[in-house]
């Protein structure tokens, strides 16, 4: 699963990298992002834009939070499918974190980044929601896939990484289902830098 990521880049770098035309925010808080926090996302509705959205889709009557959607089922599950077809986005990150289970209730945190790019384009979906104060807000989840060969020794899952030449295609509403399926299945051979971190407790959240 993907339950935490770091974004430390300036907004200007994100605007250049993704060729953003419309800024709905002028800045954001740099640092680690956790579920239920608002984070910058890149989307395309008429024009490429950057805005803030809350991480997690609400689920169930007990205020559960779904933070990831599996690539294998995201086009079919009722919670996700409408957003997948009409609300694909990118969550910019410099690092995402994963925890390796060492047994005896011990998990070791690892920091994962890209060798050839400062920014990682995490594939996600978003939709419009109503918060507890009856205000409209955007919410998002990060898509996960089976881990590639670099990540397999740490965890069985990893976030979907949208390759640079696929960013425009991923964001466009007109992209065919066949191409989208290929992107979901093509999350391999990523040139990753994996750094071992310190022991840390990791909060488990729902992943569908």
DSSP result, 30-74:
-EEE-TTSEEEEEEEESEEEEEEEEE-EEETTTTEEEEEEETTTT
With contact defined as beta carbons under 8 Å apart, do 143 and 123 qualify? yes
Exposure string over 118-150, b if 16+ CB within 10 A, otherwise e: ebbbbbbbbbeeeeeeeeeebbbbbbbbebeeb
Q: Kindly report the number of other CB atoms within 10 A of residue 7's CB atom.
A: 20
> Which residues on adjacent β-strands are paired with residue 161?
122
> Which residues on adjacent β-strands are paired with residue 69?
143
Active-site residue, 89 included:
no
Distance CA 6, CA 197 (A): 14
DSSP result, 162-199:
--GGGHHHHH-TT--HHHHHHHHH------EEEEEEEE
Q: Which residue among 2, 12, 164, 198 is the active-site one?
A: 2
Active-site residue, 2 included:
yes
Q: Which residue among 12, 44, 89, 98 is the active-site one?
A: 98
Catalytic machinery residues: 2, 98
């Amino acid at each position: 699963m993907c339950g935490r990521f770091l974004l430390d880049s300036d907004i200007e770098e994100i605007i250049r990298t993704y060729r953003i035309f419309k800024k709905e925010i002028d800045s954001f808080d740099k640092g680690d992002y956790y579920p239920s926090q608002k984070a910058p996302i890149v989307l395309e509705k008429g024009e490429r834009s950057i805005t803030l959205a809350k991480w997690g889709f609400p689920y169930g009557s007990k205020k559960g939070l779904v933070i990831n959607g599996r690539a294998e089922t995201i086009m079919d599950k009722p919670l996700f499918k409408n957003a997948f077809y009409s609300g694909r986005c990118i969550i910019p990150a410099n690092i995402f974190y994963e925890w390796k289970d060492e047994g005896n209730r011990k998990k070791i945190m690892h920091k994962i980044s890209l060798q050839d790019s400062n920014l990682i384009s995490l594939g996600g979906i978003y939709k419009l929601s109503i918060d507890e104060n009856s205000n409209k807000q955007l919410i998002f989840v990060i898509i996960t896939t089976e881990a590639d060969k670099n990540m397999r020794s740490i965890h069985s899952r990893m976030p979907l990484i949208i390759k640079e030449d696929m960013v425009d295609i991923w964001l466009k509403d007109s992209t065919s289902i066949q191409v989208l399926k290929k992107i979901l299945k093509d999350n391999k051979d990523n040139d990753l830098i994996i750094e071992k971190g310190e022991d840390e407790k990791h909060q488990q959240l729902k992943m569908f």
